[in-house]
Structure 1
């Protein structure tokens, strides 16, 4: 899979500036700007429930209306037709409907039919097969989605998102309700996708997973960015206290690892 580059041969970046989202009179996101999302890295959005993390992903993907500037390389995402935007930016929501008789392969092909209807049958099958191979799902190609484990289902949905070869991949809680092994499998797959030259951004509630897998982290609070930076530098006890309202001990090992122990609620002053 070739690495996406712009007309100058530079790696494509996703840039988000001054993004706001309103639902009626309620402001969900206010003037959000992010550090450039770079190919090869995983960026994690963390914060309490209702902070605006999922809405931010939806705004970048074009699922909800927004104001502000969003550019993917030389493309103005807001100016792209919806189908073109969905092909450039893959989006995977948190909740997945498993009540379907489609097999894994059929589900991936159905996604390609929606986003790339001009492909020949041979091209469709080649893209779908490549996505399944990449995620180790080829033995399950004929298995119904409703017969998969939670982790396998997440990988199958991820294969749908990968089959049209998006430049950026946005995932909302891809490890939700998964056991430790399946969390690892999903995150390992995302690491491989990022290493292949794609932009990967995801919402995570588990700070331990963010510490282990994310290169960069963004703390979201009250519809805005509270702090952002490299995970090792930005994942601090102070940021955790101010965003999540819990006391935590953040330990750094001799390499690049970060470990978190949650100690409890802050003591009253």
Structure 2
């Protein structure tokens, strides 16, 4: 399986946000960080691939154009987590997760869905939230339930828009560790829009760095992220060094 994006153009009304974006083909088992400053189209890109935003160009999943798939089939194969948190309703987390899975995969038995919920909640470390109402949860807890909703559906393509934005450091690490493992084990593909460059360096297989003019660079983190790219993308002077365990980290000297 693979994901390819060619000459993608997306906009709102008369404003073009992404113009002619083409990226190298992404193979299965890869978690890709979508990086760049505010306004370059990270969220717009994910919404377009999720078919929530009209676009021109070609997006192929496993060689099939996503735009021509029936919406029900697209929902089965593509899991999208928006920036907005799940609504604080009186429903409990288990009910939200169950209905989400049943809606896109009605052929699954109740027992199988229940097993999936138990496994995903345990993997994310939120089993204690299963019978708690979303209206009684913190923003971070609701974000974890939203992620569980997506993972329970076992999509081929994961599109996660700032999945760690409401989480403390422990849960940020836990979420990205879990997503990376699931993508690798299931040979899915994951795109994660994220602002924390060091988390992206630590957990993602590739970086896709967007700038105002489109794609600046894409490839392995320790190869493509350079002081020059940091300057072009973010307008900063910075360095990419290695920590004591050999992982690349970005150190920022100043804003330009």
TM range (shorter): over 0.9
Q: Which residue of 2 aligns with 1:5?
A: none
1:203 to 176, 180, 193: 193
Q: 1:90 touches 1:161 (CA, 8 Å); kept in 2?
A: yes
For residue 178 of structure 1, what is the aligned residue in structure 2?
167
* Equivalent position of 2:54 in the other structure: 65
2:124/2:175 contact within 8 Å kept: no
Instruction: State the partner residue of 1:247.
Output: 237
Q: Which segment is superposed worse, 247-256 or 193-202?
A: 247-256
5+ residue gaps, structure 1, are: 1-11
Q: Which residue of 2 aligns with 1:237?
A: 227
- Partners of 1:34 and 1:256 lie apart in 2 by 28
CA 218–152 in structure 1, closer or farther in 2 if over 3 Å, else same: same
Structure 2 counterparts to residues 1-269 of structure 1, below 5 A: 12-196=1-185, 197-222=187-212, 224-253=214-243, 256-266=246-256
TM-score (norm 1): 0.88
Conservation of the 8 A alpha-carbon contact between 1:232 and 1:256: no
Contact 1:151 1:186 in 2 (8 A): no
Looking at structure 2, the residues matched to 35 and 106 of structure 1 have their Cα atoms a distance apart, in angstroms, of 39
Cα distance change on mapping 1:150 and 1:182 into 2, 3 Å: farther
How many matched pairs? 255
SS of equivalent residue, structure 1 residue 97: coil
TM-score between both structures, scaled by the size of structure 2:
0.92
Secondary structure of the residue aligned to 1:36 is strand
